[in-house]
Amino acid sequence: MAIFNIKKKEIECKIVYYGPGRSGKTTNMEYLYKTYKKQVVGEMVSVDTEGDRTLFFDFLPMGLGQIKGFDIRVQVYTVPGQVQYSSTRKLVLKGVDGVIFVADSLAVRREKNMLSLKDLQHNLKEYGINILKIPLIMQHNKRDLAEQGLPLMSIEQMERDLNRQLKVPSFSASAITGDGVGATLKECLKLTLLSFKKQFKSG
């Protein structure tokens, strides 16, 4: 849940990168860390890794400017994508305000993407959150691999698999080149802040 600190004029929110193992969640965060130096307000912390596999989570604190005089502070997390870490993923999702689902464009990862999205839906439900209601962005990652002649799914195929019912904004990206990485985060933040506004109005 977002924290509104009226005294300090701060809004703090939590955005989580979710998706199957090796889809590029940590690489997205590494790109943010090295590219948006002005917005990064601390160190990127990777808690427990084995090689490039996340075993617990990655964390990056960011400050994303001001809205109506309030400083927007964002805590960005990635989950461990490997199937067996579902309970850790649930833990990392606690208090989430916005989700970026990083899907792997490699054709061989099709099933893994769909299973991970189901897992997200399930873990959100455990916190009483409907996947159709939470600010959610779809990122079709690793588009750069097409140039290496690797078999990728078409965007249409990925949208059919993952976004037919959700109908959330989606971005093509390469976490390696950085293409679409900033745009994905910006859109997620936009939806997240918009949803706070709506909650305020209805509350």
Ligand X SMILES: Nc1nc2c(ncn2[C@@H]2O[C@H](COP(=O)(O)OP(=O)(O)OP(=O)(O)O)[C@@H](O)[C@H]2O)c(=O)[nH]1
The only residue of 23, 26, 39, 184 in contact with Mg ion, by rule CB under 5 A: 26
Give yes or no for residue 73 binding ligand X (CB under 6 A): no
Give yes or no for residue 54 binding Mg ion (CB under 5 A): yes
State the Cα–Cα distance between residues 57 and 143, nearest whole angstrom: 24
3-state secondary structure of 3: strand
Please identify, using beta-carbon distances, which residue of 27 and 170 lies nearer to Mg ion: 27
State the Cα–Cα distance between residues 37 and 148, nearest whole angstrom: 30
State the Cα–Cα distance between residues 44 and 55, nearest whole angstrom: 15
Shortest distance in whole angstroms from residue 45 CB to ligand X:
14
> Is residue 17 a contact partner of residue 76, using CB atoms and an 8 Å limit?
yes
Q: Segment contacting ligand X (CB under 6 A): 118-126, 131-139, 164-172, 173-181?
A: 173-181
Please identify, using beta-carbon distances, which residue of 10 and 144 lies nearer to ligand X: 144
To which residue do tokens 């001001």 refer?
66
Based on DSSP, count helices (H) and strands (E) in the chain, helices before strands: 5, 8
The only residue of 10, 53, 59, 88 in contact with ligand X, by rule CB under 6 A: 53
- Give contact residues for ligand X (rule: CB under 6 A): 19, 21-27, 52-54, 78, 80-82, 141-142, 144-145, 174-176
- Give contact residues for Mg ion (rule: CB under 5 A): 25-26, 54
